[in-house]
């Protein structure tokens, strides 16, 4: 497995497999539902190579990976054996109603987004081919491509039934049967001809009745591409199924539970849930369009400007169902359309950072982030660079808001949910034709948003992202960092492997360390018995008694950590290793646990030297001036 080491580290630092209730992924993130988020080592995960950042929002513990998240997801599932998670395990997180709603919606829609985008792209390009005269709508090629493009969205209730069943703990095949019932073609054909009678005549919800179920009127709706009815139906099914399992004997549960669930839920959906949900969806859709029609410019300014903020906190999931509902009801949606400029504005901002920054690491990170941004995946840019730098993120939001307002001004709307970034331009094509001018205007706005994001960021400027890489000996009034006539640049940043009091190496009761013969460094008098890795690197030496460990960082710094004085005499008692020689380790990873009280009671000192054994290769080793440190706090910097 390509990401096996990363997968193991992720599982270990979220509290182990036993702390996981559920795991899904979207375009760039692993979305964990943890039993106890306090058990996760968030700071360790954020600093881990291969992880962009960690977001705790909407009742989810989101580990942002990047474009290769599907591969990491597969390895995490395999390493943690997460396919065997207990589907009936109850959620123990105490989350508020809003967080539960966001978690439910994201859990239902996120698994479909990749395929939804793919089928939408096919449908979009098919419309483009017709618009430029490459295909005719009568051709077999067009018909087959259109069938592929419509496949998921037309039968959306079935797909959402599957994903909702996983979130709501319903038998998947029972849920899919409910979804299939809603799009059963024969029922659609029953609306032809004269109705038996009409309900709510003369009102906004006037409804002709063509059939009855056990004498009860059934209001037939069009459920293809619908969103709300199936989610409510599966929510009902989860309650019905759970209730039936309590009293139906085990020997007949396999068929009687789905039998009665279907008999209860499907008729209730057609008679009550479907019509009410459809009417509610119509009101929501009409309401959003009414707000949009009052001032599309203001709506675009708000949605485009705050879209990236919504995404960071998962709030965009509240708008996604509205957008999909608008597509199903009206065939178009302006909500997602007005957010589309945000990714281009963010890409412009990251290109400005790439050109203007003097930091080599930022340049190297900006190149793939800019490429991803062009294709609509902006998380690497946001979490890795622009958000930590602050100003570029703010400038991208301003540019995104102006772009969104411009799209609202020209009436740009999505006619399908397709690709992201440059691939998403086809989303604006009306399959019926006639809006080529609007699409060209949208293209100009997207390009303008990119340019504006670039200019605003370049002009506003930004600070340094990795200030810790500079060893400040003395800062002059003009901001030049120097010591005498020398400029010092950090080669390797080393964090504290222990929590405790800092002790000068010269005070250590061992001449090999105090004389500096072993190398430069310092010592720590620990207050807890947990030794973590001070760098990303490899364990090059682990003494058999586990009282001493050697690590070589990825930058080539050789570090020796000796727990206590003369503790080799304990022959390993009180020491528990969590790594072995040759293991790859990351900053903050637990290496060794040791019993401080036991070591002291045995008559030995626990003062622990941390030395750079190849310090002769460097100009200097700058140590902290603090009297006490915590684990993972800056401790030393090796200077070239």
Positions marked catalytic: 26, 562
Q: What angle do CA 134, 135, 138 make, to 5 degrees?
A: 160
The radius of gyration of the chain from alpha carbons, rounded to an integer in Å, stands at 30
Q: What angle do CA 413, 416, 350 make, to 5 degrees?
A: 70
Residues 6+ apart with CB under 8 A from 615: 519, 520, 521, 621, 638
CA dist 623 and 634 (Å) reads 9
Question: Helix (H, G, I), strand (E, B), or coil: what is residue 542?
Answer: strand
Instruction: Give residue 307's region: left, alpha or beta (phi > 0; psi -120 to 50).
Output: alpha
Structural contact between residues 436 and 419, judged by C-beta atoms closer than 8 angstroms: no
Structural contact between residues 405 and 298, judged by C-beta atoms closer than 8 angstroms: yes
Structural contact between residues 179 and 227, judged by C-beta atoms closer than 8 angstroms: no
CA dist 476 and 306 (Å) reads 40
CA dist 45 and 391 (Å) reads 25
For residue 527, the number of C-alpha atoms closer than 13 Å in the C-beta half-sphere is 9
CA dist 375 and 100 (Å) reads 30
Structural contact between residues 403 and 446, judged by C-beta atoms closer than 8 angstroms: yes
CA dist 47 and 454 (Å) reads 28
Kindly report the number of other CB atoms within 10 A of residue 68's CB atom.
12
CA dist 83 and 17 (Å) reads 11
Residue at token pair 């203001």: 298
For residue 17, the number of C-alpha atoms closer than 13 Å in the C-beta half-sphere is 13
- CA 248 remoteness from chain centre: 41
DSSP state of 503: E
Whole-angstrom CA distances from 440 to 64, 410, 411, 429 are 34, 11, 12, 10
Which of 354, 370, 379, 359 lies closest to 465, judged by CA? 359
CA dist 420 and 374 (Å) reads 9
CA dist 339 and 341 (Å) reads 6
């Amino acid at each position: 497995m390509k990401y096996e080491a990363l997968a193991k580290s992720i599982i270990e630092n979220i509290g182990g497999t036993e702390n996981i209730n559920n795991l899904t992924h979207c375009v760039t993130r692993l979305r964990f539902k943890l039993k106890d988020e306090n058990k996760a080592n968030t700071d360790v995960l954020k600093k881990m190579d291969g992880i962009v950042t960690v977001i705790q929002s909407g009742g989810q513990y989101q580990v942002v990976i990047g474009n290769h998240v599907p591969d990491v997801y597969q390895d995490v599932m395999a390493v943690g054996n997460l396919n065997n998670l207990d589907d009936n395990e109850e959620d123990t997180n105490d989350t508020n109603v809003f967080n539960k709603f966001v978690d439910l919606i994201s859990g239902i829609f996120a698994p479909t987004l990749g395929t939804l985008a793919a089928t939408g792209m096919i449908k979009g390009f098919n419309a483009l081919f017709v618009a430029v005269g490459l295909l005719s709508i009568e051709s077999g090629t067009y018909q087959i491509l259109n069938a592929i493009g419509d496949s998921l969205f037309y039968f959306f209730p079935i797909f959402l039934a599957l994903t909702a069943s996983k979130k709501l703990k319903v038998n998947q095949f029972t849920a899919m049967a409910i979804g299939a019932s809603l799009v059963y073609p024969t029922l659609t054909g029953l609306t032809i001809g004269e109705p038996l009678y009409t309900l709510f005549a003369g009102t906004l919800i006037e409804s002709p009745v063509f059939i009855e179920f056990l004498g009860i009127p059934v209001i037939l709706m069009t459920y293809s591409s619908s969103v709300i009815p199936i989610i409510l139906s599966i929510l009902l099914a989860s309650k019905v199924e759970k209730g039936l399992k309590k009293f139906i004997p085990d020997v007949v549960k396999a068929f009687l539970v789905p039998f009665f669930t279907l008999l209860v839920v499907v008729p209730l959906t057609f008679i009550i849930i479907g019509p009410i949900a459809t009417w509610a969806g119509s009101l929501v859709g009409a309401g959003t369009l009414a707000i949009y029609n009052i001032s599309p410019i203001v709506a675009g300014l708000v949605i485009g400007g705050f879209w990236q903020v919504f995404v960071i906190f998962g709030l965009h999931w509240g708008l996604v169902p509205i957008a999909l509902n608008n597509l199903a009801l009206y065939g178009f949606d302006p909500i997602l359309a007005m957010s589309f400029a945000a990714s281009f504005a963010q890409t412009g901002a990251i290109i400005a950072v790439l050109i203007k920054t003097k930091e080599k690491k930022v340049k190297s990170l900006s190149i793939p982030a800019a490429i991803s941004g062009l294709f609509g995946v902006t998380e690497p840019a946001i979490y890795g660079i622009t958000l930590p730098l602050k100003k570029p993120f703010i400038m991208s939001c301003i540019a995104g808001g102006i772009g969104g307002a411009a799209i609202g001004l020209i009436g740009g709307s999505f006619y399908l949910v397709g690709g992201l970034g440059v691939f998403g331009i086809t989303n604006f094509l009306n399959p019926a034709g006639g809006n080529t001018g609007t699409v060209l205007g949208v293209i100009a706005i997207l390009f303008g948003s990119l340019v504006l994001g670039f200019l605003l960021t370049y002009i506003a400027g930004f600070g340094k992202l990795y200030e810790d890489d500079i060893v400040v000996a003395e800062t002059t009034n003009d901001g030049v960092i120097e010591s005498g006539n020398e400029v010092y640049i950090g080669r390797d940043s080393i964090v504290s492997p222990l929590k405790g009091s800092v002790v000068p190496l010269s005070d250590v009761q061992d001449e090999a360390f105090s004389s500096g013969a072993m190398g430069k460094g310092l010592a720590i008098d620990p207050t807890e018995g947990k030794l973590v890795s001070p760098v990303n690197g490899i364990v090059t030496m682990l003494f058999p008694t586990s009282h001493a460990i050697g690590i070589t960082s990825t930058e080539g710094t050789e570090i020796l950590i000796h727990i206590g004085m003369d503790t080799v005499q304990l022959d390993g008692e009180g020491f528990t290793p969590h790594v072995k020689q040759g293991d790859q380790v990351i900053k903050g990873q637990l290496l060794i646990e040791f019993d401080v009280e036991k070591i002291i009671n045995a008559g030995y000192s626990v003062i622990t030297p941390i030395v750079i054994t190849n310090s002769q290769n460097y100009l200097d080793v700058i140590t902290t001036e603090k009297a006490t440190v915590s684990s993972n706090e800056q401790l030393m910097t090796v200077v070239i």
